Amino acid sequence: MKGVLYYFSGTGNTKWAADKLKEALERYDYQLDLKSIEEEKRADIRGYSFLVVGTPVYAEIEPKLVEDFINTVPVTDTRTRCIVYSTQGAGSCSAVKRISAELAKRGYDIAGEAMVEMPNNFYFYLGKEPSERKVRRELVGAERKMRKLARDFSSGKAQVSRSFALRQKIGALAGKSFRKSIPKLSQNLTAGGSCTKCGLCLRNCPKGNITFEGGRAIIHSNCILCLRCIHLCPENAISYKGKAINQTQKEIIRHLDLK
């Protein structure tokens, strides 16, 4: 059987999990094509027997970019099996159930869900910087979770997460409030004098939101706070409120297909 996994990954966490799920499913003779939502503007499931959606979490819910993509998933009357997973700095979120509910409306059979705790890449604004030991522990746990997701899916055993209506409502409010705050928060991201204009951030910004002006990178108002520019910069030139950010995603971000 062959499936397709559509994902968005700002700093590599969600792509890392996608790679692990692909490896795990191959052990059960499933094939899985990985496709970035940045490149594929609309979902196409023709020729595939199952669908997987992977998303990061921004304050409880999926980024607007992912929400918009889900709205392009075609309606089906074949009860196509589907897996939904999220990656976030906490143990749970509202995003998975939000996406699952929308896909169920479109005729998909939700055959697996997972909320995967990964290294917190937004620690400089909220939370605590993860230690190397904590990162290693989280990655071990995340890989174990993706293997179980693949095993249960292959055996026909649905792995579905618990959901509480109140949590979903509060999560939606928190997420939408965060979305509104993004333009203001993103104004605090600036490139310092160590910027060498290598073009890595400009080429890989999912919104084409970065230009070079006055000898350095300038981040404009269409930022979605995916944080990719911070963690891929070879000079660690991008700061938040003038403060340097430790690039905790330096290894994980290599899972992305960077330009």
pLDDT in tens, 141-157: 999 999 999 999 999 98
The class level of CATH for 183-255 reads alpha beta
Give residue 160's pLDDT band: very low, low, confident or very high (50, 70, 90).
confident
Residue 84 clears pLDDT 80, i.e. is over it:
yes
Listed residue (61, 3, 11) closest to 258, CA to CA:
11
Tokens of 223: 């930022």
Tell me what the mean pLDDT of segment 208-216 comes to.
Answer: 90
Is residue 117 within 8 A of residue 141, CB to CB? The reply is yes
Which range (62-66, 102-106, 126-130, 234-238) has the least confidence? 126-130
What does the pLDDT look like over 35-55, one tens digit per residue? 999 999 899 999 999 999 999
**Taking all residues of the chain, what is their mean pLDDT, rounded to a whole number?**
94
Predicted model pTM: 0.95
Mean pLDDT to the nearest integer, 135-140: 96
Contact 227, 246 (CB under 8 A): no
87 backbone dihedrals φ, ψ, rounded to 5°: -125, 135
Domain ranges of the chain: 2-168, 183-255
Is the pLDDT confidence value at 200 over 80? yes
Instruction: Write down the residue that tokens 């996994």 correspond to.
Output: 5
Pick the CATH number of 2-168 from 2.30.30.40, 3.40.50.300, 3.30.428.10, 3.40.50.360: 3.40.50.360
Quick check: 168 pLDDT over 90? no
Q: At residue 192, does pLDDT exceed 90? A: no
What one-letter code names the amino acid at 107?
Answer: G
